[in-house]
Structure 1
């Protein structure tokens, strides 16, 4: 099987059309179509439903997609095992992560890796949307969430609990909520993606509806408003750890409930044949997160 054709298949999935994949690769749609047809003939299965207006994976294409990623990863790992010994990391590392933790943690990690490994290249996609790492051909996704069963493999890197917080100026003016019932009477800053705030009370999960003068679409905006004293906010620890360290925000502890615990996870398609650069990135990220949590 031609690895270039397998990589082409993944490129078509990520690009969404033959013509878009051809433009990205600097070739013609006709050549892309011929190579795809050759791969389908070798597999004995049609990988895409194709019309003049749309392109979508067949069930066979859906099934082959993770295996295509595994084949490419195994090829890269094989090359690295004989070409990178003693010369550092090399090749292209493709990572996606949420915006806030991406800027605060991921960028410094990849900057250090690049400084120590001149042959390494990194493609970093920062987005708060859940991305399809198989379709986009990504090596690893960093996610802040409780993980659910899936076809992906995940390794927990660090704890990342929700934190209820407010600025010292806000607390001096309005006081500090002591219980859940106190909290709902305070002006709260709402993140659009969080319709309710998750707590655990008496060992049972409980969702609290909050209200306040401001709602915002990004964590950055919620954090800035909280620092400015607009109200109480709930964000994850790694969204606000710098502000907590500097005293710009204060953690609010409730007597009758605790915010839900989340984790920071590295998510990838396969564990076997993982490229050395991916393992090095995950190890470096875990080390930085653990060092930050201990600080």
Structure 2
């Protein structure tokens, strides 16, 4: 099987058109169409529906896409294994992450990796939602939420407990809650997708329903409102680490419950043929997070 044709098929899927894929490869749309047809003939199936305006994967195309990407990753890994020590990292590192953690952790890390490896390119995509990394061709996703069972590979990178916190001005004006039930009398800042906060009491998970006056669709907004003194927020440690360090937010400790303990995970589409650039990114992420969480920040 001609891997150049396989790469062209993946480029068609990524760009959404034969002509765009052709421009990337320096080929005419007609040449792209002929090579796609040759690949389909070899496989004995139709991979892509073509119209004058768009392309769409067939069912067989959807089945072949992850296999095609695995083949290309394997080719790149084989090449990189023998060239990395001489020429450094290469190729495109595709990373997705939540907005705040992505900006705080991924950006400085990839900037350093690019400075050390002139042939490396990076594509960052920040979203607080869950991205289908297989369909999007993502190399690694940084995730914080509790991970559902799946065929994806998850590598634990660091602890990232939730932190109940508030601005000093809010605590001075409204007092500090001491028990879980006290939250009912406080202004709690909520995410639209999170109407209950998870705590642990005597080793058992407890979902505390929160009815705050201010709700928001993003962690960034909740964080900004909390720093401004609008109320209590339940955020992860690496969302607020700098605020805890500079005193713009304070940890709120409850006597009868502690917030949910989470972790930062690197999620991969497969463990096989991991490109060196992905391995180096994960190692760099672990190194960046090898910092003990201060006692005052622990739940």
Task: Report the TM-score when normalising by structure 1.
Answer: 0.90
Is the Cα–Cα contact under 8 Å of residues 195 and 211 in structure 2 kept in the other structure? Answer: no
**CA 1:76–1:294 in structure 2 vs 1: closer, same or farther (change >3 Å)?**
farther
In the TM superposition, 1:181-192 aligns within 5 A as: 181-192=181-192
Q: Answer yes or no: is 1:239 the counterpart of 2:239.
A: yes
Is the Cα–Cα contact under 8 Å of residues 153 and 268 in structure 2 kept in the other structure? Answer: yes
Looking at structure 2, the residues matched to 292 and 223 of structure 1 have their Cα atoms a distance apart, in angstroms, of 22
Q: Answer yes or no: is 1:253 the counterpart of 2:248.
A: no
Residue of structure 2 in register with 1:223 after alignment:
223
Looking at structure 2, the residues matched to 30 and 208 of structure 1 have their Cα atoms a distance apart, in angstroms, of 60
After TM superposition, give the deviation of residue 75 of structure 1 in Å: 0.7
Residue of structure 1 in register with 2:148 after alignment:
148
- Unaligned ranges ≥5, structure 1: none
Q: Which moved more, 1:68-77 or 1:33-42?
A: 33-42
Task: Report the TM-score when normalising by structure 2.
Answer: 0.89
Residue of structure 1 in register with 2:163 after alignment:
163
After TM superposition, give the deviation of residue 294 of structure 1 in Å: 6.7
After TM superposition, give the deviation of residue 245 of structure 1 in Å: 1.2
* Structure 1 residue matching 2:144: 3-state secondary structure: strand
Residue of structure 1 in register with 2:95 after alignment:
95
Residue of structure 1 in register with 2:203 after alignment:
203
Is the Cα–Cα contact under 8 Å of residues 197 and 210 in structure 2 kept in the other structure? Answer: yes
Q: Which moved more, 1:240-249 or 1:76-85?
A: 76-85
In the TM superposition, 1:1-295 aligns within 5 A as: 1-18=1-18, 21-22=21-22, 27-50=27-50, 55-291=55-291, 293=293
**CA 1:122–1:235 in structure 2 vs 1: closer, same or farther (change >3 Å)?**
same
Is the Cα–Cα contact under 8 Å of residues 69 and 134 in structure 1 kept in the other structure? Answer: no
After TM superposition, give the deviation of residue 139 of structure 1 in Å: 1.4
Give the total of aligned pairs. 295
After TM superposition, give the deviation of residue 65 of structure 1 in Å: 2.2
* CA-atom RMSD in angstroms: 2.3
